[in-house]
């Protein structure tokens, strides 16, 4: 019916959709994809100062590269033979007997060709790579840690992993691991620091110097007449971490205050404080009502020890109950 130019080869249509020939490797090789090599991942420890200021680190790494003498062929002539051990598949199947009528079939790379599916004649082996197709190379990479980067963030060097024949080279990936800082804690772009005040500082005012991550000395002080309550927070704008995308923007620096109370006060100190502080609330009870009350004594407790002691007592009571029930059951069984 006329072989006009509008006709399409069905094999070309198959290749465009599925990336190969319907007849396997013997057909058209158009659209065939190379397998991708594995990425190499390295942890990179950094300090909080590194993430605040930015830094660069030079690291020396060893990797496999295609042999330059044989162009990654492994042989002088560039020829290779199909591996007899695996028939060119690169894999071997082993069978393990687990018991009567039970077997386990396992697949593993061929040890004769190291999973390549081909072997090289000993006389034809490349002298530089000894038929391995790759040689080791040392390379120095400069890893740039930018300001504001986060713990766990990845820095990627595309195509710098191990090379292999007929393989798209993978990447080298560095994963940032922030070391714990003795003073500052980080949450996103904000910084947190703990500071303890004496009771006098909390009531009458305080002033102290805080060394920042870049070495600057920040003067931290309260406003006149300001009272700082225990477990309260104060914030300083633009003294947190720089933003990774926009370095000129910074988070906040939060200071968490705790107040250290004195263990005891002398009678003179009590009288002086009572004269200065707001009056105590007066009791709503009459003297007669107070006489009818039972007086109690307060004592200090360690709640962690109290909880531990209670749990131990409950465990001992449970074990004792188990012993009693177990003994009763044994007696009953003996009678039967």
Q: Model-level pTM?
A: 0.66
Structural fold of domain 184-260: HSP40/DNAj peptide-binding domain (2.60.260)
Q: Say if 53-78+97-178 and 184-260 have the same CATH topology.
A: yes
**What is the DSSP annotation of 241-301?**
PBPSS-TT-B--EEEEEEEE--S---HHHHHHHHHHSPPPPPP-S-HHHHHHSPP------
Q: If residue 314 lies in a helix (H) or strand (E), which one and from where to where?
A: helix 303-335
Task: Say which residue, 123 or 48, is predicted with more confidence.
Answer: 48
Where does the pLDDT of residue 329 fall: very low under 50, low under 70, confident under 90, or very high at 90 and above?
Answer: low
Domain ranges of the chain: 53-78+97-178, 184-260
Query: What pLDDT, in 10s, does the model give residues 53-93?
Result: 999 999 999 999 999 888 888 887 777 777 777 877 878 88
For residue 10, pLDDT beyond 70: no
Domain 53-78+97-178: CATH class, spelled out? mainly beta
pLDDT at 79: 77
- Strands 134-145 and 55-66, by their bridges, are antiparallel
The tokens for 203 are 């009531």
Residue 295 has a pLDDT of 77
């Amino acid at each position: 019916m006329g072989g006009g130019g509008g006709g399409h080869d069905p094999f070309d249509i198959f290749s465009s959709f599925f990336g190969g020939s319907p007849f396997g490797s013997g057909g058209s090789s158009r659209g065939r994809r190379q397998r991708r090599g594995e990425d190499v991942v390295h942890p990179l420890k950094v300090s909080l100062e590194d993430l605040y200021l930015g830094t660069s680190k030079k690291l020396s790494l060893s990797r496999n590269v295609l042999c330059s003498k044989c162009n990654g062929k492994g042989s002088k002539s560039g020829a290779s033979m199909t591996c007899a051990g695996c028939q060119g598949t690169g894999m071997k199947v082993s069978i393990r007997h687990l018991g009567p009528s039970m077997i386990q079939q396992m697949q593993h790379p061929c040890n004769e060709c190291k999973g390549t599916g081909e072997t090289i004649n000993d006389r034809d082996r490349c002298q530089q790579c000894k038929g391995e197709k790759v040689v080791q190379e040392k390379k120095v990479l400069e890893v740039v840690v930018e300001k504001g980067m986060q713990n766990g963030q990845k820095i990627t060097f595309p195509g710098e992993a191990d090379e292999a024949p007929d393989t798209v080279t993978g990447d080298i990936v560095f994963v940032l691991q922030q070391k714990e800082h003795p003073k500052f804690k980080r949450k996103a772009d904000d910084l947190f620091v703990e500071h303890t005040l004496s009771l006098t500082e909390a009531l009458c005012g305080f002033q102290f110097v805080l060394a920042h991550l870049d070495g600057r000395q920040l003067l931290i002080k309260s406003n006149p007449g300001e009272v700082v309550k225990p477990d309260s927070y104060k914030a300083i704008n633009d003294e947190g971490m720089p933003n990774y995308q926009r370095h000129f923007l910074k988070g906040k620096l939060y200071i968490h205050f705790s107040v250290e109370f004195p263990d005891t006060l002398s009678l003179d100190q009590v009288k002086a404080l009572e004269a200065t502080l707001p009056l105590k609330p007066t009791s709503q009870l009459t003297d007669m009502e107070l006489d009818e009350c039972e007086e109690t004594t307060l004592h200090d407790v360690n709640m962690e020890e109290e909880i531990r002691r209670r749990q131990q007592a409950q465990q001992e009571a449970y074990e004792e109950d188990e012993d009693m029930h177990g003994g009763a059951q044994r007696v009953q069984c003996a009678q039967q």
